[in-house]
Structure 1
Amino acid sequence: MNGMTGVNRMTDRQGPALSRRALIGAGLGAAVLTAAGVGSAHADAAGVGPAQADAAGAGSVGARARATSAQRRGHAFLAATMDAYPAHGGIRLAQSYADQAGLFSTAFTYDNALAVLAHLAARTADGRARAVVLGDALLYAQEHDPAHDDGRLRQAYNVGPYTFYDGSLQPDGFVRADGSVNVGTQFGFTGTAVGDMAWAGIALSALAGRTGERRFLAGAVRIGEWIERNGRTDEPLGGYKFGVDGANQKLPFTSTEHNTDLVCLFGRLARLTGDGVWLERRARARAFLHHMWEADGGFFYTGTNDGVTVNKSPIPEDTQTWTYLALDSRSHARSLDWAARELAVLDHAERRNSTVPAGQSYEGVTFSSAGLLANEDAPIADSQPKPDRNGVWFEGTAHLALALRERHGRGDEARARRLIDSIERAQDLLGAGQTVGGRALPEWSGVVSASSPLDTGFGFGYYPYRHLGATAWYLMAAVRSNPLRA
């Protein structure tokens, strides 16, 4: 798949409890994940990017100007991914990855929820208007699913036409001629994950709070009720399970990440509806997180495969940072130090499998503890490149930067600023020439998923393609907007 897209298939073997990113398609579920990248329009003909062009702007005024420029270019990327298929109507979602990732017009529900939150974080009229359009598209997907009428959202949708690898034409936009939404069947993105649903509910609840429009709250409540019906478990470790595959079969895993999302969603629904039932549900999700806490090491485990045994490897980054953003718990704040220390990476051109251009280097964190042990002599998956153990996962690097800013500990802001500088440099310099919907992206806009191909340890990889989710997390970190605060 264009040489740069990771694929994994879920089997019956006992492996790590899969993250939200695992693809849960028809019957089996598989995982296809990539990475994205782009830029903005004021370098000279020699190809000097904004980071170099602005280098002369010393001092705080110059730094603020550079930050403002970088954020403006990030929002230009979000707009481009949303406007890539103008002939296919006003009801639309944003394409998740640059075309070069090989996922065509796929729009992941999770990425679009993040885009809503990043647009709202900008606090501009255009940002609010775009957030409303995306929120209404999520509501449309709830109401016009081709097979279900229970408030669910699928893992991903197609939002524009393309010719698939086998030569078959996918001619439709987000809304098909019969009015149903265009579910991402080509890659098997047909299942429904609790984490994806939770993020969509968080985005809709944020829109409800910002606009006062009750349709957004109603959609968020439908999501919460679907999760309660389909995810709640009375297994010993409790919490809420993974979701269903494309054949509507329940999946056995329970994810720390998903239950973290639910702490936020259920807390918001309790506040917005005044209904105390959401507090009980929030407490159930929160209790699962406490079961996943490793006090001796100061980190959270990834989850459980069977509801009984804690899965202790690999240890992912987002279960350290999202838990802090959602819980704001001083007793668990060491998880940020664990992530910053144990998952730290520095990618540069001299590394054997690095794809970073000569003279550049990027610091940040990798996806999980397994990434640091990846086999650099073997491809991440069939037809994929070999991984760089020091590849920077920019989405996770933004999570960490934001969480450090929320914690306000000694040295946290300085460390967060270094991480954000690394992300902004990547926006300037990585992913040049990429497109969305066949259209050139604005120069120097959009953050790539990873500095070099990296193995997550969960059966898929991230790669240097401009990505809606990574860019949205960067924009929220840059303005200190915590999407997981209930």
Structure 2
Amino acid sequence: MSLPLSRRAALGGAAALSAAAPFALSTPPAAAAPLTTGRPSAESRAATKFVQRVVDAYRTSGFRLAQSYQDDSGLTDIAFTYDNALAIIALLAVGDKARARAIGDALLYAMAHDETFTDHRLRQAYHADTFVNPNGTAHFGWEFGLTGTAVGDMSWAGIALAQLAWATARPEYLKGAVRIGTWIQTNTHSTTGLKGYTFGETAGLEGHKSTEHNIDVFAFFTLLRRLTGRAVWATRAAHAWDFVERVWNADDGFFWTGSDDGATINKAAGQLPLDVQTWSWLAARKSGYAKALDWARTNLATTDTPLRANSALTGNLSITGVAFASGSLLADPTQNIGGQSWNPKPDVAAVWLEGTSQLALALLNRGADDDRVRAGDLLTQLANAQIKLGKGQKFGGTVNPGGLVAATSPLDTGFGFGYFPNLHTGATSWYLMALLKTNPYRFV
């Protein structure tokens, strides 16, 4: 299968937070009430058990990471940092602090035991089964670059550690979150071009700026402001959001994907993604940009059926939801995904179930006319996929039902990588958050 390379990947000019600064929680403001308001259902219970079994696939005690995709996905035991951050938040939403802390402790271990770096950065991915090397260093996924560290991955890990700090009041999680925030500020803050924060330290992408990443930074730094009581994090959050506003397409009501050179907006017709539309709402809830959700639900809508070219569906099963991006709907079904001869053929109408979960959650969170109905329809489609797809797939050699596959059929994203009908920890975590109405950018 195609490796789902991260699209997540920004302050050298500002004073970094000293490692000697006190790591104490500020007094929680009155408005910090949990936003988890959904009730457990059969679907949420099944999804919860799926995530819990993934976390326990290789060991049931101590710090550990969750494998991202099923055993036969082609990614073996790879545990993406982003997926593990999502799993932490989903587990906190269902009250499983023990497993959430196990993953959080593993991220802290990776930050402190990198094979090369001592600046507390995280890699894009690690190995879940063989997480600790014989020499005590964290076994990172070298398949994704020897120096690959993206702002999006770092931000999501920071958000997850901030959530743990809030939920447990333990200082090590706050310390880890602040260290991540400091790394982002020190290494990726930009005062040129569109400003904001750059992609990170990933070969070939250093100067890129991602809308998605700047949304993540905004949300993460906003949480740090509340945790630490330090106004500087609000200033830094605003710097990230200023970038997001600069890539707003007011005429058509959506956010562009970002910039390839840091100064010029990427307006490629095939690279208009879903997640920046949904995440912008969840992160900021600014009414002036609410129409981005309507752009996403209409322009990226798709239905996968067995009659579609290269569909993996059979019989009379059809699934409706949204695609990853505009490029998913423009893909050439005769070409392989990512240009690799060993990839399966793409399907121009596959449904991206992770993104469909994001859209359902964002609509529920917005609560405008018909949003609840539309979100309910999407959740019904997701529940059908939960039951029908991914049967017999394993994690750590054990069949694990109750999860969501990444996509209903092979899906070209339009960004040089694909998603496939493999059970996915990240997609299931987003689905669980949607079922429980948990906004990951707010404290659980």
TM-score (norm 2): 0.89
Partner-residue secondary structure (3-state), 1:148 = coil
Give 1:74's aligned amino acid: A
Q: How many Å separate the matches in 2 of 1:146 and 1:188?
A: 13
Given that residues 3 and 75 in structure 2 are in contact (C-alpha distance below 8 angstroms), is that contact kept between their aligned partners in structure 1? no
1:6 CA displacement = 4.2
Stretch of structure 1 that moved more, 447-456 or 189-198: 189-198
Given that residues 158 and 176 in structure 2 are in contact (C-alpha distance below 8 angstroms), is that contact kept between their aligned partners in structure 1? yes
Given that residues 91 and 174 in structure 1 are in contact (C-alpha distance below 8 angstroms), is that contact kept between their aligned partners in structure 2? no
Counterpart position of 1:156: 125
Counterpart position of 1:116: 88
Counterpart position of 2:233: 278
Partner-residue secondary structure (3-state), 2:182 = helix
Q: How many Å separate the matches in 1 of 2:440 and 2:124?
A: 20
1:86 CA displacement = 2.4
1:405 aligns with 2:364: yes
Counterpart position of 1:91: 63
Among candidates 360, 380, 394, match of residue 435 of structure 1: 394
Counterpart position of 1:253: 208
1:346 aligns with 2:303: yes
Given that residues 239 and 285 in structure 1 are in contact (C-alpha distance below 8 angstroms), is that contact kept between their aligned partners in structure 2? yes
Given that residues 125 and 144 in structure 2 are in contact (C-alpha distance below 8 angstroms), is that contact kept between their aligned partners in structure 1? no
Q: How many Å separate the matches in 2 of 1:220 and 1:6?
A: 28
Q: 1:250 to 1:456 in 2, by over 3 A?
A: closer
Given that residues 6 and 460 in structure 1 are in contact (C-alpha distance below 8 angstroms), is that contact kept between their aligned partners in structure 2? yes
C-alpha deviations, 1:383-434, integer Å up to 9, x for none?
Answer: 2122211100000001100000011111000100111111111111101111
Stretch of structure 1 that moved more, 272-281 or 284-293: 272-281
Counterpart position of 1:131: 100
Partner-residue secondary structure (3-state), 2:120 = coil
Q: How many Å separate the matches in 1 of 2:405 and 2:70?
A: 9
C-alpha deviations, 1:26-58, integer Å up to 9, x for none?
Answer: xxxxxxxxxxxxxxxxxxxxxxxxxxxxxxxxx
Partner-residue secondary structure (3-state), 2:41 = helix
1:69 aligns with 2:42: yes
Q: How many Å separate the matches in 1 of 2:128 and 2:193?
A: 41
Q: How many Å separate the matches in 2 of 1:86 and 1:225?
A: 32
Partner-residue secondary structure (3-state), 2:288 = helix
Partner-residue secondary structure (3-state), 1:107 = strand
C-alpha deviations, 1:195-243, integer Å up to 9, x for none?
Answer: 0000000000011111111111110000000000111011120000001
- The two structures, once aligned, show a CA RMSD in angstroms of 1.7
1:307 aligns with 2:262: yes
**1:402-481 superposed matches below 5 A:** 402-441=361-400, 443=401, 445-481=402-438
Give 1:353's aligned amino acid: N
Q: 1:464 to 1:250 in 2, by over 3 A?
A: closer
Among candidates 224, 231, 234, match of residue 269 of structure 1: 224
Q: 1:6 to 1:148 in 2, by over 3 A?
A: closer
Give 1:421's aligned amino acid: T
C-alpha deviations, 1:344-399, integer Å up to 9, x for none?
Answer: 00111111211112110111100001111110122223221222111000000011
1:19 CA displacement = 2.5
Partner-residue secondary structure (3-state), 1:311 = coil
Q: How many Å separate the matches in 2 of 1:189 and 1:411?
A: 47
Q: How many Å separate the matches in 2 of 1:308 and 1:180?
A: 38
Higher relative contact order (CA 8 A, sep 6+): 1
Q: How many Å separate the matches in 2 of 1:185 and 1:457?
A: 24
Flag as ranges the 4+ runs of structure 1 deviating above 4 A.
Answer: none
Q: How many Å separate the matches in 1 of 2:229 and 2:421?
A: 44
1:189 CA displacement = 6.5
**1:326-337 superposed matches below 5 A:** 326-337=283-294
Given that residues 91 and 175 in structure 1 are in contact (C-alpha distance below 8 angstroms), is that contact kept between their aligned partners in structure 2? no
Partner-residue secondary structure (3-state), 2:374 = helix
1:222 aligns with 2:222: no
Counterpart position of 1:24: none
Given that residues 68 and 79 in structure 2 are in contact (C-alpha distance below 8 angstroms), is that contact kept between their aligned partners in structure 1? yes
Among candidates 14, 20, 25, match of residue 8 of structure 2: 20
Q: How many Å separate the matches in 1 of 2:143 and 2:311?
A: 31
Partner-residue secondary structure (3-state), 2:406 = coil
1:450 CA displacement = 0.2
Give 1:436's aligned amino acid: F
Q: How many Å separate the matches in 2 of 1:310 and 1:112?
A: 31
Stretch of structure 1 that moved more, 307-316 or 464-473: 307-316
Q: How many Å separate the matches in 1 of 2:255 and 2:144?
A: 31
1:356 aligns with 2:320: no
1:194 CA displacement = 0.3
> Structure 1 regions of 5+ residues with no counterpart?
9-17, 22-63, 161-172
Counterpart position of 1:5: 2
Counterpart position of 1:370: 327
C-alpha deviations, 1:43-78, integer Å up to 9, x for none?
Answer: xxxxxxxxxxxxxxxxxxxxx99x711111111111
Q: How many Å separate the matches in 1 of 2:3 and 2:301?
A: 22
Counterpart position of 2:169: 212
Q: How many Å separate the matches in 1 of 2:113 and 2:301?
A: 43
Give 2:251's aligned amino acid: D
Counterpart position of 1:384: 343
Partner-residue secondary structure (3-state), 2:142 = coil
Given that residues 270 and 277 in structure 1 are in contact (C-alpha distance below 8 angstroms), is that contact kept between their aligned partners in structure 2? yes
Give 2:174's aligned amino acid: L
Give 1:19's aligned amino acid: R
Q: How many Å separate the matches in 1 of 2:213 and 2:187?
A: 13
1:90 CA displacement = 2.2
Q: 1:302 to 1:242 in 2, by over 3 A?
A: same
Q: How many Å separate the matches in 2 of 1:186 and 1:273?
A: 36
Q: How many Å separate the matches in 2 of 1:299 and 1:377?
A: 30
Q: 1:402 to 1:7 in 2, by over 3 A?
A: closer
C-alpha deviations, 1:91-140, integer Å up to 9, x for none?
Answer: 21000000111100100000000000000111x3xx11111111111111
C-alpha deviations, 1:435-457, integer Å up to 9, x for none?
Answer: 1122222x3x1100000111100
> Structure 2 regions of 5+ residues with no counterpart?
10-37
1:190 CA displacement = 4.6
Q: How many Å separate the matches in 1 of 2:202 and 2:330?
A: 30
